[in-house]
């Protein structure tokens, strides 16, 4: 169980951190303020700001681009689209890079490593046909377009993915989609040109072969963004999270990914590494929050003492350190198991980090907010947004409770228990 | 320790609940959506919507107006401004009324019982001169104007109120104010006409006689709202929370409330009953959240079962019921002690509820959000806003940690320990 | 909801506290040490020590005897056996008396108010025939004998009482019992002369009419104490907790209490007030623990400061105060509902306190142990025994989880959910 | 950060586990029962039972002896006393072996790897003179004698080790000791022949050079075991935990270890690896408890279902799995840092595991007890003893709070904060 990163990963992490400190952090707060200004009557916050493109150009020039691309897959993509040295990273090597990116909300997109694009690109890489890849994977890797993943539905408990109701029916040479999705992240941006939509194709098939993944160009007639959804008051412009309606949407039959009825297999393959990414990013967020708490608490005085020296604050700092360290190790261990045994030998480990990382981060960030007083709840610090991010991850990709159920099922399996 | 409400209080609570169900709940969601529409480019969300005035007129007609006015004080106000029967309520009797109001974000203002106006009106009632009352208390009780309370400052740890730096210096017949406040709730509305500002008057006096409370009309030259502050992404228009600068602001010397150096005494008197109000309102919020969780969890299915029957959900519902009930009783007990012994005999009890109620509500609401999946984080349900409200209360009126310190100090006092 | 105690209850509580301070506390530690000495090779710890009888005589002379006897039942017992003034107490009035007794492990028995005798006496009072009462209730009220309650079994999950397997079969004029019980508290003492045994009589009846309660004299042939059970290393001599085997035990048919098949009805009636007693006693324990923590923490220095001033200790003291106060109020509220509405209108409230009180006490006592360092785990302080007591209550009368289920079921009942 | 064990460590762990399953588990329960029988009047529980010697002989024959001996130190000891292959283990390699031993209370002594002997042997190995080693280290490694470590005192807060009051004064060629220690583990056994005693030698030296470590043979005149102390009711015979008085105890001056005033340096060196051992053993305990919980919960039915399927039990199993895994990784990481950087580069990591491991274990074991109902609190399962072990570790080697303070101090050090 070698949880250490390769020298290459250490180098990439350091370069990513340095890039963030040099190029992103100095402008990030202004960027958020500018979006706030636009939102509050000053213009259209759903248009990407030029800053993002400029930062992406710089990052790409430094070789910090598409680093999420996994080792061992179709390396000409890595070569063609500038991934460092043309070779993808293992999960254990990408982990510290993802943590570094997690310290900034802008960073993942600057490096073309943001959800849901990374997951969508992986799906196309693993399951796409050549023509699907040419049409959509190339421009995504190139950063020319963005994408959305349309899975969750408002009218069913999406924690049970077999209940999805949007229909994706084969009709001659076409697929016709009808239904409603929400929490489609990224769909708010005009750069979002392609949607991967999960739909019900074969209601009478067994539970895990009823649904399909379908490529739906954003501008297909019948695709409407009904509204953008706030998360705890945050709209996360310009990508945002949309509610999308599909009314008699017609796409060619070759837009099935990996054929009809394959949605579950694809989702399973998509989510494992994605959860490592998410988990490491929130570890980065938690580290950032703890750092802010230590700084604020050391500098600010109350009752004649630095705030860190009041009440139980030092104990909470120590607890945060313990929680961050042990959670990071848990994620690295899951990454190691994914790398060495593949997703089906890491089901429990991946479920464990899905639960552990956001909860840990939420608590650490809550403490950091408390150390900042009212400022912690405002947008003067990235803490309120960070908390919201961690909180949303307790529901994204299925609520924690579903993943705890998976961990328990595997644990009890060794004692002969069935569900 | 009779924690029961008088029949009159029960009647008022029932009428308030019925009013909310009949007149507010049917329109509340549209009201929030309309503000969201204005905010998102459709207009000015900082203008009060006509609906509020209409609801206030109805509430006042039903005698549900200024119910917060305390028993035993200047009853002609209660008579003049329509308080039920012309007689104020004890804390124990107002408590269930406050809980009922807490179930809706609009309700407190509809009944002219919203913070910070209630606290400000109490200050004027208890400490104001006749002319101060005439000028500001009358229109506040009449709902013609609104007010703000300017205490917290961005540059000092406001948990230690003795550190406040804004100066309020007597200069001949005038007071000159210079400095910066933030989290001044309500200051965003054009109806806000008067500010109560805490400022440093006598730096060399003992710690508790350095600061004064000063009445500052909103339109005094030198008073600027630098910006409105979001809380977890929520701006709470049209009242909001502002950062306010005071630059050579000059008001007449008679605008001191209760004379110079009296800020601490006033703050103490202001905060006791205010904390009971806040605490009971979040109990109402928590009840509302639990109700939503039970409904959602009973109606929605996953894996073939109602969600409440999955995993630990029933246990969490039970824990929420226990937490709500015991916290409500703790608040009623504090109200009883305030009523029977006055604020200085209820210091520990009031500090206890300041800590206990928001934490309890935050946990219950977090659970309710989780039961709602993504919807719980959106604005389709009032849960995200409710959580934010409870979270902010862990900092408002001083962070929890300060209040825990007070409880411990009193506890240890009986063993001869000093701070 | 008048949660105040009557002046009579206040007087009794004060007299009980004063008796404990004057007569019990000065000798209690020596009493425990003497039992320890006997246990560790010095003699037989299962013989009652003379001290208990002496203290009982004193307590009875002061009218502090059988105070648990409920209001409104067969008051000649109260008169005959010395209960204060000949009149039983309501639950709300007995609550503070029980809390006072909870501060000492010896006290309940000194006042003839200890479990399981109180519950057994209540059963006889409510459901016994005249001759059953004469034979067993009179000597129990008189303190001449003690009793045990044999319900839990080692081989089934006793949380589901319908699974009990010991048979109590009617055979002509006799009842024959066969089976095994454990955690039969009190059975270790030679003074224990009567057992109330729950057994399966009618396997084919509906779930709640299969079992009976049977009076079994301790010396009936076939009744054997197989062993005494330790709880976390404590044997709680001389009463203790026994595993008892019943082999062809034959008692006359009139030993059914309230007839065959009535066990559930009796258990339900027995447990409501008993849970209030238990809960208030652990509140008393928690208060005692907090008191010890405050004293120790104020007196002992480390790193140049009283321990209470280190780290988060003051916050923990404050949290303990909040937890104790709110739990006590919750219990008083349940007592009030029992008094005014009867057990079937207080099912949720009684289940709530069953869960809340031991957990609260366990946490407070754990903190108090931590404040005492190694001494807290030893028998120099009553903390280890107190913790064990609170921990055991999370299982006694059914594990917490069953009671949480009851609270949830009632909560969800209002939304039309069924189990 | 290679947290994997060497093949040799894996082999040793497997052999240790196999030895425990084959030779210890079948007799362990009877062994505890026999001690209980002796304690309860049947004889002297403070005499080692023959079983221990028999098991030790077997273990030694299999090369499972003194495995704790660290790599790189005086390897002739390892060779001479049978340590596997004559080569000590790194911390990361000993960790899984310690975890395996932690599953049984007898195991550590069977393999001559039990506290406090291991720590004492390390002290002699690192700091002892040749003659000290010959006299005491050889027989300890040989299992002929046992030892105790006398540090904690009843009259001072031993969390602050600088306050220790027992005097160890140089007097000509002698050292004279006067004072009182407690929680001297192992001192109850007649095999305990040597004590390492920390005493005050130079009150005027700087805080960290006042105390010395002194070798005191158990049979030196003036050394008395005043009493044996129970932990939560457990005496842990035959070693136990004693209160020891030293009255004019005189030993030769060469009995200072590493000279006078060196106690702190020695304690520091002694405790780092010891904490890894302790932490890994409680991980083993927690695994054992979770295993018992899964078995019991799968086999036993209530309300017609296996207990694991009721309420939140599956969630708790999953949470236990997450907690165990992440804590184990945290400990391995600390072991790795100890191995690669030495104790002074792992101060925070060692303090973190000192806090994290016992708390985790205590919670997991508490859950396992709850799953067992009353049986969980009895001695039918090792859970009550396991819980007590974990609870005691929150105080042993200093209370958690002191270690949290260390973690916070190091964390804040990077921001320029001082204590």
**Helical H segments across C194-312, by residue range:** 263-299
Span D144-154, mean pLDDT? 96
Fold matches, A147-261 and A264-413: no
Query: Distance between CA C392 and CA C373 in Å, rounded?
Result: 23
Residue D409 has pLDDT above 90, yes or no: yes
Identity of the residue in A308, A317, A407 whose CB atom sits nearest the CB atom of D321: A407
Query: Distance between CA C115 and CA A33 in Å, rounded?
Result: 66
State the best of C92, C283, C325, C349 to mutate against chain B, taking most chain B CBs within 10 Å: C325
Query: Distance between CA B159 and CA B161 in Å, rounded?
Result: 6
Contact criterion met (CB < 8 Å) for A395 and B379: no
CB B69 within 8 A of CB B77: yes
**Please, which residues 352-381 of chain C have a Cβ atom closer than 8 Å to chain B?**
352, 355-356
**Please, which residues 29-58 of chain D have a Cβ atom closer than 8 Å to chain B?**
none
CA-CA distances (angstroms) from residue C22 to C17, C19, C29, C282? 9, 5, 14, 21
- With contact defined as 3+ CB pairs under 8 Å, the chains touching A are B, C, D
Span D205-211, mean pLDDT? 94
Nearest by Cα to C333 from C345, C319, C318 = C345
The 10 Å CB-count burial string (b at 16+, else e) for A235-274 is bbbbbbbbbbbbeebebeeebbbbebbbbbebbebbbbbb
Question: In the A/C pair of chains, how many CB contacts fall below 8 A?
Answer: 11
What is the pLDDT at residue D296? 96
What is the pLDDT at residue A193? 98
User: CA of D334 to nearest chain A CA: how many angstroms apart?
Assistant: 11
Residues of D in contact with A279 (CB under 8 A): none
Residues of D in contact with B312 (CB under 8 A): 311-312, 315-316
**CA–CA–CA angle B209, B211, B216 (5° rounding):** 145
CA-CA distances (angstroms) from residue A371 to A385, C105, C271, C318? 16, 43, 46, 19
Q: What is the pLDDT of residues C76-88, one digit of tens each?
A: 776 777 666 667 8
CA-CA distances (angstroms) from residue D252 to A193, D147, D164, D261? 86, 19, 22, 16
- Tell which wins on pLDDT, B411 or A43: B411
Residues of A in contact with C307 (CB under 8 A): none
How many CB atoms are located within 10 Å of the residue D60 CB?
18
pTM for the whole structure: 0.96
CA-CA distances (angstroms) from residue D280 to A4, D335, D369? 21, 10, 21
Nearest by Cα to C186 from C235, C243, C148, C219 = C148
Q: What is the pLDDT of residues C223-259, one digit of tens each?
A: 999 999 999 999 999 999 999 999 999 999 999 999 9
Considering the segment(s) A147-261 as one domain, its CATH architecture is Beta Barrel (2.40)
What is the pLDDT at residue A75? 62
How many CB atoms are located within 10 Å of the residue D11 CB?
13
CB B188 within 8 A of CB B241: yes
**Please, which residues 299-318 of chain B have a Cβ atom closer than 8 Å to chain D?**
311-312, 314-316
Regarding the domain delimited by C7-114, which CATH topology (the fold level of the hierarchy) does it fall under? Answer: Butyryl-Coa Dehydrogenase, subunit A; domain 1 (1.10.540)
Residues of B in contact with D311 (CB under 8 A): 312, 314-315
Nearest by Cα to C66 from C21, C92, C101 = C101
At D86, is the pLDDT very low, low, confident or very high (cuts 50, 70, 90)?
A: low
What residue in C sits closest to D160 (Cα-Cα)? C302
> Number of helices and strands (H, E) in chain D?
14, 9
Nearest by Cα to C308 from C320, C297, C317 = C297
Identity of the residue in A314, A349, A415 whose CB atom sits nearest the CB atom of D294: A415
- Least confident among A30-44, B214-228, B399-413, D217-231: A30-44
Q: What is the pLDDT of residues A366-390, one digit of tens each?
A: 999 999 999 999 999 999 999 999 9
Identity of the residue in A330, A405, A414 whose CB atom sits nearest the CB atom of D314: A405
**CA–CA–CA angle B161, B166, B169 (5° rounding):** 115
The token pair at B59 is: 């509430």
The token pair at D336 is: 């790795």
Regarding the domain delimited by D7-144, which CATH topology (the fold level of the hierarchy) does it fall under? Answer: Butyryl-Coa Dehydrogenase, subunit A; domain 1 (1.10.540)
Residue D106 DSSP symbol? S
Identity of the residue in B308, B330, B415 whose CB atom sits nearest the CB atom of C412: B308
State the best of C9, C275, C312, C417 to mutate against chain B, taking most chain B CBs within 10 Å: C417
At C419, is the pLDDT very low, low, confident or very high (cuts 50, 70, 90)?
A: low
Place of tokens 């909860």: A359
Contact criterion met (CB < 8 Å) for B294 and C412: yes
Nearest by Cα to B292 from C284, D80, C411, C101 = C411
Query: Distance between CA D314 and CA D294 in Å, rounded?
Result: 9
CA-CA distances (angstroms) from residue C193 to A101, A356, C149, D282? 73, 54, 11, 44
Residues of B in contact with A302 (CB under 8 A): 157, 159-160, 163
What is the pLDDT at residue C344? 85
What residue in D sits closest to C41 (Cα-Cα)? D41
What residue in A sits closest to B157 (Cα-Cα)? A302
CA-CA distances (angstroms) from residue B49 to B31, B118, B190, D1, D397? 8, 21, 12, 61, 64
Please state which CATH class domain D147-260 belongs to. mainly beta
- Least confident among A146-155, B123-132, D79-88: D79-88
What residue in B sits closest to D309 (Cα-Cα)? B311
Residue C44 DSSP symbol? -
State the best of D305, D311, D313, D314 to mutate against chain B, taking most chain B CBs within 10 Å: D311
Considering the segment(s) B147-259 as one domain, its CATH architecture is Beta Barrel (2.40)
Computed on alpha carbons and rounded to an integer, the radius of gyration of chain A in Å comes to 21
What is the pLDDT at residue C36? 85
How many CB atoms are located within 10 Å of the residue D325 CB?
23
Q: What is the pLDDT of residues C119-135, one digit of tens each?
A: 999 999 989 999 999 99
**Residue C360, C-beta contacts closer than 8 angstroms, at least 6 positions apart:** C282, C283, C286, C323, C324, C327
Query: Distance between CA D38 and CA D345 in Å, rounded?
Result: 47
CA-CA distances (angstroms) from residue B105 to B28, B114, B237? 8, 10, 12
Identity of the residue in D232, D312, D313 whose CB atom sits nearest the CB atom of C384: D232
Domain spans of chain D? 7-144, 147-260, 264-413
Residue C4 has pLDDT above 80, yes or no: yes
Residues of C in contact with D397 (CB under 8 A): none
User: CA of D39 to nearest chain C CA: how many angstroms apart?
Assistant: 6
- With contact defined as 3+ CB pairs under 8 Å, the chains touching B are A, C, D
Q: What is the pLDDT of residues D308-318, one digit of tens each?
A: 999 999 999 99
CA-CA distances (angstroms) from residue C333 to B335, C326, C327, C345? 16, 11, 10, 12
Residues of D in contact with C400 (CB under 8 A): 370
Query: Distance between CA C16 and CA C28 in Å, rounded?
Result: 15
Place of tokens 């029960």: B10
Span A52-64, mean pLDDT? 95
What is the pLDDT at residue B52? 96
End-to-end CA distance of chain A: 30
Identity of the residue in C157, C232, C405 whose CB atom sits nearest the CB atom of D311: C405
Residue B147 DSSP symbol? E
Residues of A in contact with B385 (CB under 8 A): 233
Place of tokens 């447990």: C271
User: CA of C379 to nearest chain D CA: how many angstroms apart?
Assistant: 7
Q: What is the pLDDT of residues C31-84, one digit of tens each?
A: 998 988 888 777 889 999 999 999 999 999 999 999 998 876 656 776 777 666
What is the pLDDT at residue D212? 97
At A344, is the pLDDT very low, low, confident or very high (cuts 50, 70, 90)?
A: confident
Query: Distance between CA B238 and CA D405 in Å, rounded?
Result: 46
Per residue of chain B (419 residues), give pLDDT as tens: 788 889 999 999 999 999 999 999 999 999 998 998 888 777 889 999 999 999 999 999 999 999 998 876 656 776 777 666 667 899 999 999 999 999 999 999 999 999 999 999 999 998 999 999 999 999 999 999 999 999 999 999 878 888 899 999 999 999 999 999 999 999 999 999 999 999 999 999 999 999 999 999 999 999 999 999 999 999 999 999 999 999 999 999 999 999 999 999 998 777 778 889 999 999 999 999 999 999 999 999 999 999 999 999 999 999 999 999 999 999 999 999 999 998 889 999 999 999 999 999 999 999 999 999 999 999 999 999 999 999 999 999 889 999 999 999 999 998 887 65
In the Cβ-directed half-sphere of D125, how many Cα atoms lie within 13 Å? Answer: 25
Nearest by Cα to D94 from D332, D390, D286 = D332
How many CB atoms are located within 10 Å of the residue D186 CB?
24
What residue in B sits closest to A404 (Cα-Cα)? B311
Please state which CATH class domain C264-413 belongs to. mainly alpha
Query: Collapsing DSSP states into helix, strand and coil, what is residue A214?
Result: strand
Identity of the residue in C3, C318, C327 whose CB atom sits nearest the CB atom of B3: C3
Contact criterion met (CB < 8 Å) for B408 and C315: yes
What is the pLDDT at residue D417? 72
Query: Distance between CA C298 and CA B412 in Å, rounded?
Result: 8
Query: Distance between CA B9 and CA B16 in Å, rounded?
Result: 10
C303, β-bridge pairs: none
DSSP states of B170-220: EETTEEEEEEEEEEEETTTSTTEEEEEEEEE--TTS-GGGSEEEEEEETTS
**Please, which residues 187-246 of chain A have a Cβ atom closer than 8 Å to chain C?**
none
**Residue B30, C-beta contacts closer than 8 angstroms, at least 6 positions apart:** none
């Amino acid at each position: 169980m070698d949880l250490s990163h390769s020298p290459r990963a250490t180098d990439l992490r350091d370069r990513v951190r340095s890039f963030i400190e040099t190029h992103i952090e100095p402008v990030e707060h202004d960027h958020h303020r500018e979006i706030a200004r636009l939102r509050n009557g000053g213009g259209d916050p759903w248009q990407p700001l030029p800053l993002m493109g400029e930062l992406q150009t710089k990052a790409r020039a430094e070789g910090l681009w598409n680093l999420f691309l996994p080792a061992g897959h179709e390396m000409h993509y890595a070569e063609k689209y500038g991934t460092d040295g043309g070779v993808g990273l293992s999960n254990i090597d990408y982990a510290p890079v993802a943590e570094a990116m997690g310290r900034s909300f802008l960073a993942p997109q600057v490096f073309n490593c943001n959800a849901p694009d990374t997951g969508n690109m992986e799906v196309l890489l693993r399951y796409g046909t050549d023509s699907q890849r040419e049409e959509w994977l190339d421009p995504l890797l190139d950063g020319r377009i963005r994408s959305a993943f349309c899975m969750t539905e408002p009218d069913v408990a999406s924690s049970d993915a077999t209940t999805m109701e949007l229909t994706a029916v084969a009709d001659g040479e076409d697929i016709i989609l009808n239904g409603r999705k929400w929490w489609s992240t990224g769909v708010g941006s005009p750069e979002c040109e392609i949607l991967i939509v999960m739909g019900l194709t074969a209601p009478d098939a067994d539970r895990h072969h009823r649904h399909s993944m379908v490529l739906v160009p954003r501008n297909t007639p019948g695709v409407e963004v009904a509204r953008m959804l706030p998360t705890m008051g945050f709209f996360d412009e310009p990508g945002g999270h949309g509610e999308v309606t599909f009314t008699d949407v017609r796409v060619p039959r070759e837009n099935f990914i990996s054929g009809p009825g394959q949605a579950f297999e694809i989702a399973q393959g998509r989510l494992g590494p994605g959860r490592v990414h998410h988990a490491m990013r929130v570890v980065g967020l938690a580290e950032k929050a703890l750092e802010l708490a230590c700084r604020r608490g050391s500098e600010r005085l109350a009752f004649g003492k630095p705030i860190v020296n009041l009440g139980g604050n030092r104990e909470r700092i120590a607890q945060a350190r313990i929680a961050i360290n042990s959670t990071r190790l848990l994620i690295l261990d899951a990454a190691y198991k994914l790398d060495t045994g593949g997703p089906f030998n890491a089901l429990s480990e991946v479920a464990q980090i899905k639960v552990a990382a956001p909860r840990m981060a939420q608590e650490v960030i809550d403490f950091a907010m408390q150390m900042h007083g009212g400022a912690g709840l405002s947008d003067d610090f990235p803490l309120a947004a960070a908390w919201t991010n961690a909180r949303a991850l307790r529901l994204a990709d299925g609520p924690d409770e579903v993943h705890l159920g998976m961990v328990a099922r595997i644990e009890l399996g060794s004692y002969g228990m069935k569900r």
